[in-house]
Amino acid sequence: MTATPLLGDIPLTRVQRIEHALDGGFSGARVLGLAGDVQERAGRGSHHIHITGALTGDAAADELDTLQQAAATGEELTFAADITAALELSKVVILRFRASETAGLPGFYAYELLLAESPPLPPPAEVSGFGGLDGLGDLGFDTDILGDISDLADQAASAIDAVQSAVEQLESLASLGDLALGSGLLSGLTDRAGAAGRAGDQLAGASEALASAFGP
Tell me the average pLDDT across 25-52. Answer: 91
Q: Is 136 a member of any domain?
A: no
pLDDT of residue 216: 55
Whether residues 108 and 158 share a domain: the answer is: no
Answer whether 29's CB lies under 8 Å from 40's CB: yes
- Does the pLDDT of residue 193 top 60, yes or no? no
Question: Among 39, 43, 44, 42, which Cα is nearest to 22's?
Answer: 44
Is residue 139 included in any domain, yes or no? no
**CA pair distance 216, 207, nearest whole angstrom:** 15
Flag whether 49 is in a domain: yes
- 32 falls within a domain: no
3-state secondary structure 58-85: CCHHHHHHHHHHHHHHCCCECEECHHHC
Same-domain status, 170 and 111: no
pLDDT attached to residue 189: 53
Amino acid identity of residue 181, one-letter, is: L
**What is the structure's pLDDT at 180?**
47
What per-residue confidence (pLDDT) applies to 173? 63
110 and 170 fall within a common domain: no
Confidence of residue 181 (pLDDT cuts 50, 70, 90): very low
105 and 153 part of one domain = no
- Do 91 and 151 share a domain, yes or no? no
Please indicate, yes or no, whether residues 108 and 149 belong to a single structural domain of this protein.
Answer: no
Q: For 99-108, how does the pLDDT look when each residue is reduced to its tens digit (9 = 90+)?
A: 999 999 988 9
Residue 1, domain member (yes or no) = no
Mean pLDDT on 72-94: 92
Binned at pLDDT 50, 70 and 90, residue 182 comes out as: very low
The helix/strand count (H/E) of the chain reads as 4, 9
* In a shared domain, residues 112 and 169: no
CA-to-CA separations, 26 to 23, 37, 43, 48, 89, in angstroms, rounded: 8, 11, 8, 16, 21
- In the chain, the number of structural domains is 2
Compute the distance between CA of residue 66 and CA of residue 175 in angstroms, rounded to an integer.
98
Instruction: Confirm whether 93 is domain-assigned.
Output: yes
pLDDT digits (tens, 9 = 90+) for 10-31: 999 899 999 999 998 898 999 9
Domain of 189? 144-214
In a domain, 178, yes or no: yes
